[in-house]
Amino acid sequence: MKSSTKHFAGPVLGSLLTVGLIAGCSTPGNGPAATPLAASPSAAVTTAPEPVTVTAGDTVTEEQAEQLAEGQVAYPLASGEHVVVEATAPLPDAVRADMTAAVTAGVSPLTDGFAAYAFASSYAKSASASAGKNVLVVFLNPLGSFGDEEPHPIWITKGTVPPAIQGTLGLEEQIANVEAFIAAQSDPALWDYVVQTV
């Protein structure tokens, strides 16, 4: 009788120990503490600088040139200065003088009509991009001609696209044609022209 009781007590005691160990492992508070989520850093708010208050013809610094109002650009003169050009205002005197000097220096030495034509076309595109408006270039083509006549210099106008402006023998006639062309555009204020000095 004693022997059977001893044998029964062994398995029972082992089962109780096993249950206790399992219960101890699942006791609340014994596991690692939960790590709180880190707060997301707030995005930095950047504010665009206010446009500087300037008008066409004003000289600005390189820093101010980046803060001009819509419709304004800073045209870089050959001297290194930046002059404000407005899309709907006439070219400032300093800008017109700078462009005129560039056209004159580029065209005057040329004796090839095709070379003069190419230079004027290219310069009209670059000047228009730099000024933020359409700039036409009026120049004296050294080998222009009319029909079957012998080649002789004629005044021609070039732009970002070939303008429908007839070449002329006289400068005054050519300027009149240019101004009539500009007046016929949907927004004439967006156009201007420079003339080669001869």
Write out pLDDT tens, residues 152-180: 789 999 999 888 898 999 999 999 999 99
pLDDT at position 146 is 58
Provide the pLDDT confidence category of residue 111 given band limits of 50, 70 and 90: confident
Q: What are phi and psi of 81, to 5 degrees?
A: -80, 160
User: Do β-strands 59-60 and 154-158 pair in parallel, antiparallel, or remain unpaired?
Assistant: unpaired
Residue pair 111/143 in contact (Cβ under 8 Å)? The answer is yes
**Listing from the earlier edge strand, what are the strands of the sheet with 134-141?**
154-158, 134-141, 191-195
pLDDT of res. 162: 81
User: Is residue 92 pLDDT above 60, yes or no?
Assistant: yes
Task: Give Rg (Cα) of the chain.
Answer: 41
Domain residue extents for the chain: 90-195
- The confidence score (pLDDT) of residue 93 equals 97
Query: What pLDDT is stored for residue 52 in this prediction?
Result: 85
pLDDT greater at residue 162 or residue 44: 162
pLDDT of residue 161: 84
pLDDT-based confidence at 44, cuts 50/70/90? low
